[in-house]
């Protein structure tokens, strides 16, 4: 959002710039601004303020702005003579025609904003910025000068002290002897009245040089509040941050300050005058005036609110809990976190991670979907396998009825015979015993037929077990035998070698075998009975698999249909469902084997399937 606003502003800025260029070419001269400072060039607060004002004006000005700066250095060179020389110098150096604005930064008094520019450049508008506890004199306003009077936020700073260190019982106040320094001390004294339970001590009579020794052993519960100190009792001149730097590293207690420029010296912080914020406000005011606003109509802005600001290192050093720092406090000198240092990299990495995570999640979801679909398909195949098995059973009904009726018939006849024997006068008990043994045998036989039928009809999933392949083939042959008899087909089982056990599901494999055998028998319907031969054989291939083949002497498979044999619903039989081979393929592949079919060299079709040898 912020970016958008800036972007829009930039566009409008450009548009405005173009408009000025076209309509006002003659006036596109750079704006000349003369900056007059009361203090020396090297006063830290002034340097920060000057840069902030310049930056703000350059940022928002439609025209180029050219700055000139002059420094009276009143703290070192007081007196009327020095001021006169300075004024002459300025008067000689600049003419009113050259200037579009005078920006004054008075400190001790407001002469720099009032008398001097009024005398030298009466037509040039003046804007001043004063960090001062004294109000601007009335004549300043009469001269049509506007500006900002920024006061130290003493109450705010005392509030911050109570907030950060609630146990504070004593405040040592240090200040200088210039009028500005004294005005500040007066304000502190005034504000101290509002703070109950805290004792204020004003160390104004001690030379600054002695102070570091004195602050070294201040007791707990004490804080130092550094006011303004441009000159001490001995007449030695200082800058406030300079004094802060002398005291804070030595002090046993925290040092609070009033100007943002004093931070970084080891001082803890305060509700300070932020030179950047003040510079920005002053820059905006200067631009308004440069743009043509009449200073007379702009009232002098007296600001007392500071910016809560702390030095993170001091907070840590003094063991103040970070949670005590009020929200909205500007925290300086916090070591850059990884985030601050490598924000872009982290964002890119994060994006990559997120993309990756999303991809992985996507893949996982896809995988789950696939697994679910596969399970569904498997389920349907089991279902379908059951259906085909039932239909295979349907084809085998005559077989099964026959198979079941054999033992049942035998039981019935035996029972009837026994009845007759028992009616005789001297029943032949040996015969009856033999009958009962036969009944029991046939009963078991009938039971086997039924359980085989049931297992074929049951819905079941694959249960892989070690299987004797020869036994499996014999079983399938014997199941198909009655049907083969009825259809006049000769069934042969060829096992030339001893076969290893395979891993498989007996019932499912029987289904495959029966399906292939029944298909083979179907294909031989049009062949003379004497030539109907169906051969089931098996051999080991490569030691790892057993290959089973079911070969017939029937009509064979049309070459164009061989490829489609295993497709579901593909059938060559008039009333076939076309599922037999498809299901057989599913079953064999579920065993890890392969199934394929083709024609014999001589006549008929042959189907093969492989099964893995059980290596356990």
Return residues touching other proteins (CB under 8 A): 398, 401-414, 416-417, 420-421, 431, 435, 438, 441-442, 445, 482, 485-486, 488
Whole-angstrom CA distances from 410 to 189, 238, 405, 413, 442 are 128, 130, 8, 5, 7
Q: How far is the CB of 555 from other proteins (least distance, A)?
A: 23
* Structure tokens given for 359: 């991809």
Where in 198-314 does DSSP place strands (E)? 199-203, 222-226, 255-257, 269-272, 301-303, 307-311
Closest approach of other proteins to the CB of residue 586, in Å: 32
Q: What are phi and psi of 151, to 5 degrees?
A: -100, 160
Pair type for strands 146-150 and 126-131? parallel
Between 424 and 498, name the residue whose CB sits nearer to other proteins. 424
Using DSSP, state whether 79 is helix, strand or coil.
coil
Mention every residue, 6+ apart, whose C-beta is less than 8 A from residue 336.
none
Rank residues 281 and 487 by Cβ distance to other proteins and give the closer one: 487
Q: How far is the CB of 371 from other proteins (least distance, A)?
A: 47
Question: What are the angstrom distances between the C-alpha of 367 and each of 360, 364, 378?
Answer: 10, 5, 16
Cβ-based nearer residue to other proteins, 143 or 410: 410
Q: Give the residue with the Cβ less far from other proteins, 172 or 435.
A: 435
Cβ at position 462, least distance to other proteins in Å: 33
Write down the least CB distance from residue 410 to other proteins, Å. Answer: 4
Residues β-bridged to residue 597? 607
Under 8 Å between Cβ of 278 and 61: no
Of 486 and 558, which has the nearer Cβ to other proteins? 486
Q: Estimate the crossing angle of helix 44-60 against helix 240-247, to 10 degrees.
A: 120
Burial of 339 (0-12, 13-18, 19+ CB in 10 A): exposed
The 10 Å Cβ neighbour count of residue 455 is 13
In the complex, minimum distance from the CB of residue 403 to other proteins, in angstroms, rounded to a whole number: 7
Minimal distance, residue 485 CB to other proteins, in Å: 5
Residue indicated by tokens 């050219």: 66
Q: Give Dmax (Cα) for the chain.
A: 168
What's the token pair of residue 447?
Answer: 């039971």
CB 61 within 8 A of CB 31: yes
> Based on CB atoms, which residue is closest to other proteins, 482 or 578?
482
Element (H, E) at 470: helix 469-486
From the list 197, 178, 192, the residue with the least C-alpha distance to 256 is 192
For 107-131, letters b (16+ CB in 10 Å) and e give bbbbbbbbbbbbebbeebbbbbbbb
- Measured from the CB atom, the residue of 221 and 447 that comes closer to other proteins is 447
Question: To the nearest whole angstrom, how small is the minimum distance from the Cβ of residue 451 to other proteins?
Answer: 18
Cβ distance to other proteins smaller for residue 218 or 404:
404
Helix ranges (H only) for 263-329 are 275-290, 312-317
Q: Measure Cα distances from 227 to 215, 249, 253, 524 in Å.
A: 15, 17, 16, 117
CB of 575 to other proteins, least distance (A): 17
Q: Which is nearer to other proteins, 421 or 570 (CB)?
A: 421
Q: Answer for the pair 587, 580: CB distance below 8 angstroms, yes or no.
A: no
Smaller CB separation from other proteins, 305 or 441: 441
| Cα–Cα distance for residue pair 50/47, rounded to 1 Å | 5
Residue 150 vs residues 118, 126, 246, 317, 487: alpha-carbon distances, Å: 23, 17, 26, 31, 117
Q: How far is the CB of 436 from other proteins (least distance, A)?
A: 12
Whichever of 364 and 420 has its CB closer to other proteins, that residue is 420
Q: Strand 101-105 to strand 31-37: parallel, antiparallel, or no bridges (unpaired)?
A: parallel
Rg (CA), the chain: 54
Decide whether 50 or 442 has the Cβ nearer to other proteins. Answer: 442
Do 113 and 101 form a contact (C-beta atoms < 8 A)? no
Please, what is the minimum distance in Å from the beta carbon of residue 541 to other proteins? 32
H helices of 24-130, where? Answer: 44-60, 80-93, 115-120
Cβ proximity to other proteins, 324 vs 448, nearer residue: 448
**Which of residues 156 and 407 has its CB atom nearest to other proteins in the complex?**
407
Q: How far is the CB of 432 from other proteins (least distance, A)?
A: 10
Residue 408 Cβ vs other proteins, minimum distance, rounded to whole Å: 6
Q: Which is nearer to other proteins, 322 or 428 (CB)?
A: 428
Least separation in angstroms between residue 437's CB and other proteins is: 11
On whether the CB atoms of residues 221 and 170 are closer than 8 A, the answer is yes
Least distance in Å: CB of 415 to other proteins?
Answer: 9
């Amino acid at each position: 959002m912020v970016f958008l606003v800036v972007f829009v502003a930039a566009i409008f800025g450009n548009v405005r710039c173009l408009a000025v260029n076209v309509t006002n070419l003659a006036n596109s001269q750079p704006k000349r601004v003369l900056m007059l400072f009361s203090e020396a060039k090297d006063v830290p607060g002034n340097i920060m303020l000057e840069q902030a004002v310049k930056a703000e004006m350059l940022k928002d000005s439609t025209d180029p702005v050219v700055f000139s700066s002059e420094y009276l250095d009143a703290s070192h060179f007081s007196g009327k003579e020095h001021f006169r020389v300075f004024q002459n110098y300025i008067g000689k150096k600049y003419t009113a025609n050259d200037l579009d604005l005078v920006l004054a930064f008075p400190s001790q008094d407001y002469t720099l904003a009032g008398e001097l520019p009024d005398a030298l450049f009466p037509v040039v508008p003046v804007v001043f910025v004063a960090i001062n506890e004294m109000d601007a004199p009335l004549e300043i306003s009469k001269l049509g000068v506007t500006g900002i009077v920024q006061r130290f936020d003493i109450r705010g700073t005392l509030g911050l002290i109570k907030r950060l260190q609630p146990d504070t019982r004593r405040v040592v106040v240090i200040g200088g002897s210039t009028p500005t320094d004294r005005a500040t001390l007066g304000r502190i004294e005034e504000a101290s009245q509002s703070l109950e339970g805290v004792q204020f001590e004003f160390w104004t009579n001690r030379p600054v040089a002695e102070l570091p020794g004195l602050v070294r052993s201040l007791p707990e519960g004490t804080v130092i509040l550094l006011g303004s100190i441009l000159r001490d009792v001995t007449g030695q001149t200082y800058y406030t941050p300079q004094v802060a730097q002398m005291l804070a590293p030595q002090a046993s207690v925290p040092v609070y300050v009033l100007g943002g420029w004093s931070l970084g010296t080891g001082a803890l912080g305060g509700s300070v005058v932020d030179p950047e914020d003040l510079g920005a406000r002053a820059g905006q005011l200067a631009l308004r005036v440069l743009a043509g606003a009449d200073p007379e109509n702009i009232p002098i802005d007296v600001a007392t609110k500071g910016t809560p600001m702390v030095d993170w290192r001091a907070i840590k050093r003094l063991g103040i809990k970070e949670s005590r720092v009020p929200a909205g406090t500007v925290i300086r000198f916090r070591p850059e976190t990884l985030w601050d240092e490598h924000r872009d990299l982290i964002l890119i990495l994060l994006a990559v991670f997120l993309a990756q995570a999303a991809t992985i999640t996507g893949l996982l979801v896809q995988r789950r979907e696939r697994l679910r679909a596969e399970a569904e398909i498997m389920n349907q195949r089991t279902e379908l396998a059951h259906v085909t098995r039932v239909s295979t059973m349907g084809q085998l009904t005559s077989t099964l009825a026959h198979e079941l009726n054999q033992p049942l018939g035998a039981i019935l006849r035996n029972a009837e015979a026994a009845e007759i024997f028992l009616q005789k006068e001297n029943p032949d008990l040996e015969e009856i015993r033999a009958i009962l043994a036969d009944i029991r045998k046939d009963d078991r036989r009938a039971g086997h037929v039924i359980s085989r039928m049931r297992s074929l009809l049951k819905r079941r999933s694959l249960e892989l077990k070690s299987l004797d392949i020869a036994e499996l083939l014999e079983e399938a042959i014997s199941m198909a035998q009655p049907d083969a008899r009825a259809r006049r087909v000769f069934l042969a089982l060829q096992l030339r070698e001893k076969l290893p056990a395979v891993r498989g599901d007996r019932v499912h494999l029987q289904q495959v075998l029966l399906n292939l055998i029944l298909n083979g028998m179907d294909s031989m319907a049009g062949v003379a009975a004497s030539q109907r031969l169906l051969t089931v054989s098996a051999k080991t291939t490569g030691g790892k698999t057993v290959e089973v083949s079911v070969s017939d002497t029937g009509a064979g498979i049309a070459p164009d249909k061989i490829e489609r044999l295993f497709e579901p619903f593909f059938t060559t039989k008039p009333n076939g469902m076309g599922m037999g081979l498809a299901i057989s393929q599913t079953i064999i592949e579920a065993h890890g084997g392969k199934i394929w079919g083709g024609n014999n060299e001589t006549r008929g079709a042959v189907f093969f399937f492989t099964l893995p040898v059980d290596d356990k």
